Structure 1
């Protein structure tokens, strides 16, 4: 009979994380704690797709845009998966971005992740030196833009509905929150 290994709470490692199944769930690791998030809802997927379609064509060739699941491992105790991210091409390793700060992390708020994204992930991205952190609330059609200044996030902009946010970081790109919640073919 095969022996089953159990882990003490808080005892998960990156090695343990790498053995988890590819089952549609999002697995993240924060200081030994495993965070498990169910597959995103349709609106979440739509926003991620629409935002990717805006970021990708504007992205300079030395940078890349990815969407979850794609690991950001800022240290040996953490593995996070922002909904979208922008990083330097040179910072990409076999398991994602390891030990290098992201230029942009984007989280799309949902009922199951709202508090994690607003509080925990904000603090983790800030500590990891992620230059820009965008939070998008699909229900409110609202984009909140935070930028790292002297090691702490400062709110740079809040764009709602049909307002245009003209990003400068990580590169120039206009974003209109109301357009992100529309189906691709709805223009």
Structure 2
């Protein structure tokens, strides 16, 4: 990447980052860098993706990161899972989401639980799910009048019956079980 001053990063700078290695995200011109996740993070992510894919209607698709969500030139986020309108884009980014999912671990807790809900809401993403693998908890946020409201917090073996973006049942503890 070219040397630039903090606060001046744009999505054009992200095009110069490598496809492998750290995850690069952009928030109001500030670059966020996170690193590889743990096996439990990947297990939960894989299980959740399989459940969402099996229930997903044809007009939507479920994709894993590192596909970027870029609603504007100064914001680029990389959700762990994305639900978006089905399309044939050839870019490594999308501009519209129906659901963003983040799998929280200790190193991403503040960003995923404090910063990202504000950013996804500001970008108009209808639903944001936060799966906390350390607490076996799924927090479901839905956009109401431009602000996320907590629809439900599901812990352990409790079943969450989603309606948005489509009907599906999720049990947090089941996402973390080894097969």
Shorter-chain TM-score: what band?
Answer: over 0.9
* CA–CA separation in structure 2 for the residues paired with 1:55 and 1:149: 23
Match of 1:74 in 2: 71
In the alignment, structure 1 residue 107 sits paired with structure 2 residue 107: no
Matches within 5 A, 1:7-22: 7-22=4-19
Which structure 1 residue ranges, 5 or more long, are not aligned?
none
Gaps of 5+ in 2: none
Asked if 1:30 corresponds to 2:53, the answer is: no
Taking structure 2 as the reference length, what is the TM-score of the superposition? 0.95
Deviation at 1:5, TM superposition (A): 4.0
Q: 2:167 aligns with which of 155, 166, 172?
A: 172
Which of 121, 126, 131 is residue 131 of structure 1 equivalent to? Answer: 126
Q: Do 1:68 and 1:81's aligned partners in 2 also have CA atoms closer than 8 Å?
A: yes
The answer to whether the aligner puts 1:45 opposite 2:42 as a matched pair is: yes
- Is structure 2 residue 59 aligned with structure 1 residue 62? yes
Distance 1:107 1:77 in 2: 20
CA deviation vs aligned residue, 1:117-147 (integer Å, no higher than 9, x gap): 1111110000011101101111111001010
Bigger Cα Rg: 1
Q: State the 4+ residue runs in structure 1 displaced beyond 3 angstroms.
A: 90-93
Superposed CA RMSD: 1.4
Name the count of aligned residue pairs: 179
Matches of residues 133-148 of structure 1 in structure 2 within 5 Å? 133-148=128-143
TM superposition score normalised by structure 1: 0.91
